[in-house]
């Protein structure tokens, strides 16, 4: 019995000093030789750990305590957050190569090495979050009207998550962390406020909004009061389910077909790689194509006009017809562009093409403006448009590669 007690005291380091964190009063975990390896060094494949190494006898040892407690409370679940007193547990600090205190060490997933934060400029919650958060990888996909259907229907065994956000760019940190931590069980999509048609489809009236879509049943909307990590994690955990692809021996996370680069932009370029996904092999599709001399004519202003028209017409589905918007670089696809018989001086020009069994097209007459294009599409929906047959009822083969960013 005495020997057992001696061994336990040795493992616990004697706990002779007064620790600056208390279990009952903080969300900071207290690590000892009994739990450090299990919780931190042998657990790196399951998330990111942040550890404050200190000596309780150091002058100013408690200076960082409040900031670190705030960081732990604000980021509960996002990181594993703990502390080690190097006076009580010197062996842990020696093994982790802690040569001075205080030290704040981040343990990212392998193979990334551990990182020590520079504490010269202070130790506040936002700085720690920024430093540790670098190791989260965004696993979400930008969702537009172009790739939404592919995203929700691809791999039906995996539920999909849609975040509707009014952020103009980037991914909110909490969502980025969730997308990595649920990587094997959920697919994450990000929908910008500009995607009006998708917002209407999911009855989103305020931002942010979070929706889970499964292969069966109605979409499930998160109705929590807080848009923070822990409550959203708990909500998603209920709807998460493991998807195992029997064809993948290593059972790594499967990539959604919706992540193809031409499906994540509002008005993509038609190439050999992208053409079928964008429009050419979609059922009931009418391809609204900006035929341009080169990339310079496919300016962001012109593409934004097309996107705005597309958002307005997404809900005007008639007789199974859907409009898909894209642009064609005639300098890269001269043979395909020749289908429409357009002289170079007439470019850029809007063409509406039916790529179905009876391949036909019509030219948009008039200026490239929202009102002008809408007028042409309204004619089509009203049955008043005249299409011209594609010669030989066969489209030339696309040959260009989708541009690498």
pLDDT along the chain (405 residues), means of 10: 43 57 88 94 91 88 86 92 95 95 93 92 85 93 90 89 94 94 92 92 95 90 91 88 42 64 88 92 89 93 91 67 91 95 94 94 93 92 90 93 81
Strands 360-363 and 388-389: what pairing? antiparallel
Whole-model pTM: value is 0.66
Are the C-beta atoms of 263 and 277 separated by less than 8 Å? yes
All CATH 3.40.30.10 domain ranges in the chain, comma separated:
2-133, 141-259, 266-393
Triad 28, 32, 34: Cα angle to 5° = 125
- The number of angstroms, rounded, from the C-alpha of 31 to the middle of its chain's C-alpha atoms is 33
pLDDT at residue 405 in the model: 64
Residue 249, helix vs strand vs coil: coil
Q: Residue 6 phi/psi, 5° resolution?
A: -65, -40
DSSP state of 318: B
Q: Which long-range contacts (CB under 8 A, 24 or more apart) does 204-211 make?
A: 204/164, 207/164, 207/165, 207/166, 208/163, 208/164, 208/165, 208/166, 208/172, 209/163, 209/164, 210/161, 210/162, 210/163, 210/164, 210/235, 211/161, 211/162, 211/164
pLDDT at residue 4 in the model: 44
pLDDT at residue 316 in the model: 62
Q: Among 3.40.30.10, 3.30.70.250, 3.40.640.10, 3.50.50.60, what is the CATH number of 266-393?
A: 3.40.30.10
pLDDT at residue 320 in the model: 63
Q: Is 3 exposed, middle or buried (0-12, 13-18, 19+ CB in 10 A)?
A: exposed
* CATH class of the structural domain 141-259: alpha beta
What CATH homologous superfamily does 2-133 map to? Glutaredoxin (3.40.30.10)
Q: Which two tokens stand for residue 298?
A: 């496919």
Residue 206, helix vs strand vs coil: coil
Q: Which two tokens stand for residue 9?
A: 């005291």
Are the C-beta atoms of 338 and 298 separated by less than 8 Å? no
Neighbours of 352 (CB within 10 A): 21
């Amino acid at each position: 019995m005495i020997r057992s007690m001696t061994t336990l005291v040795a493992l616990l380091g004697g706990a002779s000093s007064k620790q600056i964190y208390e279990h009952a009063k903080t969300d900071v975990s207290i690590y000892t030789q009994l739990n450090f390896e299990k919780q931190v060094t042998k657990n790196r494949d399951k998330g990111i750990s942040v550890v404050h190494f200190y000596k309780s006898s150091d002058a100013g040892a408690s200076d960082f305590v409040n900031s670190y407690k705030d960081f732990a409370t604000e980021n509960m679940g996002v990181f594993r957050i703990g502390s080690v007193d190097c006076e009580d547990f010197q062996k842990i600090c020696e093994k982790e190569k802690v040569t001075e205190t205080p030290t704040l060490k981040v343990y990212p997933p392998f193979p990334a090495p551990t990182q020590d934060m520079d504490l010269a400029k202070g130790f506040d919650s936002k700085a720690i979050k920024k430093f540790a958060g670098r190791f989260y990888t965004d696993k979400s996909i930008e969702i537009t009207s172009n790739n939404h259907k592919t995203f929700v229907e691809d791999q039906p065994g995996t539920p999909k998550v849609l975040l509707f956000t009014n952020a103009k760019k980037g991914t909110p940190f909490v969502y980025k962390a969730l997308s990595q931590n649920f990587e094997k069980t959920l697919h994450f999509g990000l929908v910008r406020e500009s995607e009006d048609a998708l917002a209407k489809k999911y009855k989103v009236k305020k931002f942010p909004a979070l929706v889970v879509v499964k292969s069966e049943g109605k979409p499930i909307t998160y109705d929590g009061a807080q848009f923070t990590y822990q409550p959203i994690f708990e909500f998603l955990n209920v709807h998460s389910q493991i998807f195992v692809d029997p064809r993948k021996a290593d059972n790594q996370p499967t990539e959604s077909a919706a992540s193809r680069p031409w499906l994540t932009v509002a008005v993509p370029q038609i190439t050999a790689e992208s053409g079928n996904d964008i429009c050419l092999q979609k059922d009931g599709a009418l391809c609204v194509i900006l035929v341009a001399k080169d990339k310079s004519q496919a300016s962001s202003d012109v593409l934004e006009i097309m996107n705005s028209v597309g958002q307005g017409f997404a809900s005007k589905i008639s007789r199974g017809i859907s409009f898909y918007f894209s642009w064609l670089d005639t300098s890269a696809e001269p043979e395909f562009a020749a289908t429409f018989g357009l002289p170079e001086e007439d470019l850029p020009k809007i063409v509406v093409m039916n790529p179905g069994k009876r391949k036909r097209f019509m030219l948009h007459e008039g200026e490239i403006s929202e009102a002008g294009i809408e007028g042409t599409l309204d004619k089509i929906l009203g049955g008043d448009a005249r299409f011209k047959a594609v010669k030989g009822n066969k489209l030339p083969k696309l040959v260009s590669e989708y541009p690498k960013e």
